[in-house]
Amino acid sequence: MPQVQESSFRIYINAPPEFVFDYLADPRNLGEWSPRGAKVELESAETIGLGARFHLSWVAGVGRDTPHPGVVTESQRPWHLVFVLRDEYFEDVLEVFSLKRLEGGTLLQRRVSTSMNLVHALLARILIAPLVQPLYENSLPLLKRALESRARGQRRRLA
C-alpha cells in the first residue's frame, strides 16, 4: 500500500495574489528562489500556465544533476496552482500552491506530497527528509524576497 509523505509551509508575501500567482505559474522563475539554484527549461517557450511542460534540474547532494520533468496540472488564477514533478527514485511529487488575499498582500501555502512504497517511505523519512525538508523551508524566504523585490520595482515604474 502506498505511503504518502506530505509537508506544508506558509509565508506572507507583500504583493497581491495575482502578482504572486503569475510569478509562480512560470516555472522558469523557480531558479530564483530554489536554494540549490534550479535550472528550468520549458518544452515550448509559448506555454506558461495550465499544461506547461518543463524540465527542472539541480545538483543533488550526491553532486550530480537530478532531472525532473514537470507539468502544470491545475491553474486557477490567482488562487490555486498545482504542478507535478517526476522523480527518478520515488513516485510523482505534487506541488500545490494556495493563495489567499490578506492585508494587502498574499498568504501563500505550499504543500508538497508524494506517495511511495513502504521501503521508499522508510528511506525517505530516515535519509532524505533531513536533507530535503530544510530546502523547502529555506525556499519560501527566498521566494518572498524575489517577489517583494519585483513588486517594489513594478510599483516604482508605475509611480
Q: What is the pLDDT of residues 13-65, one digit of tens each?
A: 999 999 999 999 988 888 888 777 778 888 876 667 888 898 888 755 555 56
Structural domain harbouring 49: 3-158
pTM of structure: 0.82
Give the 3-state secondary structure of residue 153. helix
Distances in Å between the Cα of 79 and the Cα atoms of 82, 101, 110, 156 are 11, 9, 12, 26
Q: What is the pLDDT of residues 57-103, one digit of tens each?
A: 875 555 556 778 999 999 999 999 999 988 766 678 889 999 999 99
Give the 3-state secondary structure of residue 71. strand
H or E, element range at 47 = none
Least Cα distance to 34 among 129, 110, 125, 124 occurs for: 110
Q: Is the pLDDT of residue 2 over 80?
A: no
In total, how many domains does the chain have? 1
Q: What is the pLDDT of residues 142-153, one digit of tens each?
A: 899 999 998 888
> In CATH, what number is assigned to the domain containing residue 130?
3.30.530.20
